[in-house]
Structures are given as C-alpha cells and as structure tokens.
Homo-oligomer: A and B are copies of this chain.
Amino acid sequence: MTARPSLSLSGEKLTAVYQLKGSVEQARARAEDICVEQTVEFPVDLIERSDIRDQVIGKVVSVEANGPDRCLATVEFPVEAAGRELTQLLNVLFGNISLKPGIRLMSFSLPEVMLEQYRGPRFGIPGLRALIGVRSRPLICTAIKPMGLDAEALADIAYRFALGGVDLIKDDHGLADQSFAPFKERVTQVTDAVRKANRETRGNTRYAPNITAPADELMNRAEWAKTSRAGGLLIAPGIVGLDAMRRIADRDDIALPILSHPALQGSYCLDSESGISHGPLLGTLNRLAGADASIFPHFGGRFSFTPEACRELKQHAVEPQGNIKPIWPVPAGGMGVDRVKEMVDFYGKNIIVLIGGDLHRNGDDLAKSARELMARLPGWLET
C-alpha cells in the first residue's frame, strides 16, 4: 500500500464505555486492542499511513477501576467508521469484540451529527399517550394466547380484553404464521373484534400483531397490519435484526407504534462480564431502531433480571438523547395484577404494564378481570 496521507475526517466522535476485566493496566491494554479490533482490524505496525493510524483507529479516553479486577474504559471512535448505517454502528460498537471474553458494552453515546441520521421512535412516550388518549397513568397491555388456539378463539379473547378497557393487546410473541392461526386471518379477525369492542365501549384499545417474520415477509406483514387497521406492531429485533425494525419504524405510510420484544436477545445481557448491558441493549439501541416501547422481564418474575438491570434499562429508555424520543419501559415476564403498584413505584407512571396469563386466573370472564384491573389503577397511583 502506498503512503499518501489524505484523510480529513470531521473529528466528530461516538463514545462507548466498556467494562473490562483486569487491573487498570490490563484494561488499558484491552481498550487499546478494542480501538484497533473495531476499526482497522490490522497490525498497527503494518499500517504505513499515519493519517489512518491517527484518525481511523479508536482512542482510549479514560480507564478507571470499577470494583475488584474490573475497570471502565471510555473509547472514542470516529463517526466515519460507522458511516451512516445502524448495521455498521453495531459492528463498530460490538461486532468482533463480541467474540472476546471479559468485554461488556455498558453505554454509548452519539454526537448530534450522528443522532440526526436516525428518526428514532415515531411516538415514544408523549406520542403514544396522545394516540391512546391517556394523560398520565401507566398503560395496561395484555397478550392473546396460548399458541394452538385458532384465530376466532384469539379474537374472542381480544374482544373480551378490549371490552374490559385495557389500552393495548399484543399477540403473544410465539404467534407467527402457524397453521393454528395464520397471520392474515388472525390479524383480520382480531382487529375486527377489537374494533367491535371499542364501538361498544367507546373505548380506544389498540391491538399490536406480531409481525416478526422472514426477511421477505416482514414488510408484507407490517402492511397487512396497517391495512387491517391494527393499532400497533410487535417485533422481536433479536430475531429479524435491529435495522429491520428501524426500516419499518421509518415508513411514513405504516406509522404504527412499535413494541420491541427481547426474544433471542437475552444472551447479550445475561453474563455480567461480557455482552451488552441491559441499558444500551434494550434501551438505547431499541430507541435508535425506532421502537416506541421495550418489553423486558421485570425482576422477580419468571426471568432473572435484577432490580439494578431494570433501573438501568429504564434510564437508557428515557434519558435525553438529542432528537431521539424517550420510550416506554414495558416490564413483563409473569407479572400479576398484585405487582402493578410495585412496578409503578419502581419505574414511575411512564410504563406499560404487561400482564398476560394472570388475567386468566379468574376464569373466562376476561372483560371483568380487565375491568377490575383498570378500576384499581387510580388507587395505586395515589400514594
């Protein structure tokens, strides 16, 4: 390669904070390694061009101890390394180093010039409140299931929940396009059922079908949901790819609130020493990729998130981030009606509480169970 220094980058940087195993000295060496691995991925001594060495390779800003044998390192990358693409941003932040142990992405922040490349959530917290017409209380969401029911039975369940006045009804994330209740048939019947209930109650329940689907079907499902007058979309970005969700969120002719489901993403955040922490994974990245709400397992349910993880996730979901709107934390995962008050105390009122199976506990009168939940809500908010 001939040496002809010619780069003149903007000087704008994106910043990432990694938790690294080891002493400060060891962590500094690992952070320097990250700077190379995530950009040029090439032996530095073999790079003849000083401008590439100086401008393209990341830079370690700071390394500090953060507990025994553990440090936090702040690294800056030139925005040009990530280009204008969410896919390459993911690659720079954590692509190859996902394969190295003892590195955990704790947070990242983008400069204004980069944030402007992303529309982010179309609705976010204020937008979804306006859409549903609920000023300050938490929103209540439930799910239609179990897998195995036909579209008619699922529509019947949705109808009853809508009669009971819940704000949102989503497909169980396991409902795709199986023979039990094929996607198009299900969406048609459930949207009809929810509209019927809304007419009867003068309510405004919104149904979000699960459009997680093969790459060549995803957009068709989003369009079918829109045409069927669904009220939102459920997408699992861990399955379809974060940018596939972003693409749907950006479509002005779809313009439905998006609930992001964490299926297949747990492996990123479970091990506290590697992967991507809950906040950037389910908060910041979901926001960049256009989700309006991020579903995750609240602590103390069927899953294993800690209170700290849930707090971090909420913080990343709502903290100021340029033009990118704050989004709804959706604590879930085996939550019962008896925990709503605790969740409101923990997260505040800007949450969507997702209660699934527990609303079936009192038998077939789902409308009554839902109505009772909605009626108890104001009381939980007072103290």
Determine the chain B residues whose CB is within 8 A of the CB of A179 once the complex forms.
80, 83
Q: Mark A30-62, 1 if CB is under 8 A from B, else 0.
A: 000000011111110011010110011000000
Residues of chain B within 8 A (CB-CB) of A85 are 176-177, 213-214, 217
**Are the C-beta atoms of A148 and B214 separated by less than 8 Å?**
no
Select one of B84, B96, B149 contacting A173, CB under 8 A.
B96
Instruction: From known contacts A80-B178, A263-B98, A270-B274, infer whether A43 and B148 are also in contact, taking CB-CB under 8 Å.
Output: no
Distance in Å from the Cβ of A361 to the closest Cβ of chain B? 7
Q: In the assembled complex, which residues on chain B have CB atoms less than 8 Å from the CB atom of A92? A: 174
Whether A80 contacts B180 in the complex (CB less than 8 A), given A213-B87, A267-B268, comes out as yes
Query: Is A381 in the interface zone, CB < 8 Å from B?
Result: no
A374 an interface residue at 8 Å Cβ cutoff? no
- A247's partner among B80, B216, B263, B276 (CB-CB below 8 A) is B216
State A296–B316 Cα separation when bound (angstroms).
Answer: 32
How many chain A residues sit at the interface, stated as a range, is 35 or more
Roughly how many angstroms separate A16 CA and B12 CA in the complex, as a whole number?
A: 47
- List residues of chain B with CB within 8 A of the CB of A238: 95, 98
Decide if A176 touches B51 in the complex (CB within 8 Å).
Answer: no
Instruction: Please state if B356 and A42 are interface contacts (CB–CB under 8 Å).
Output: yes
State whether the Cβ of A2 lies closer than 8 Å to any Cβ in chain B: yes
Chain B CB within 8 A of A145 CB: yes
- Give the chain B neighbours of A360 by CB distance below 8 A: 42-43, 46
Distance to closest chain B CB from A85 (angstroms): 5
Chain B nearest CB: distance from A158 CB in Å?
12
Contact of A90 with B by CB under 8 A: yes
Contact yes or no, A41 B91, CB < 8 A: no
A interface residues (Cβ-Cβ under 8 A, vs B): 1-2, 6-7, 37-43, 46-47, 49, 51-52, 55-56, 80-88, 90-92, 94-101, 145-150, 153, 156-157, 172-174, 176-180, 212-217, 236, 238-241, 243-244, 246-247, 262-268, 270-271, 274-276, 297, 302-305, 333, 356-357, 360-361, 364
**Would you list 20 pairs from A and B whose C-beta atoms are within 8 A, ordered by A residue?**
A1-B149, A1-B157, A2-B153, A39-B148, A40-B145, A41-B145, A49-B148, A52-B147, A52-B148, A98-B262, A98-B267, A99-B262, A99-B265, A99-B266, A100-B302, A101-B304, A239-B243, A267-B271, A267-B275, A271-B271
List the 9 shortest-distance A-B pairs measured between CB atoms, nearest first: A241-B241, A99-B266, A98-B266, A95-B263, A40-B146, A52-B148, A56-B148, A42-B146, A88-B176
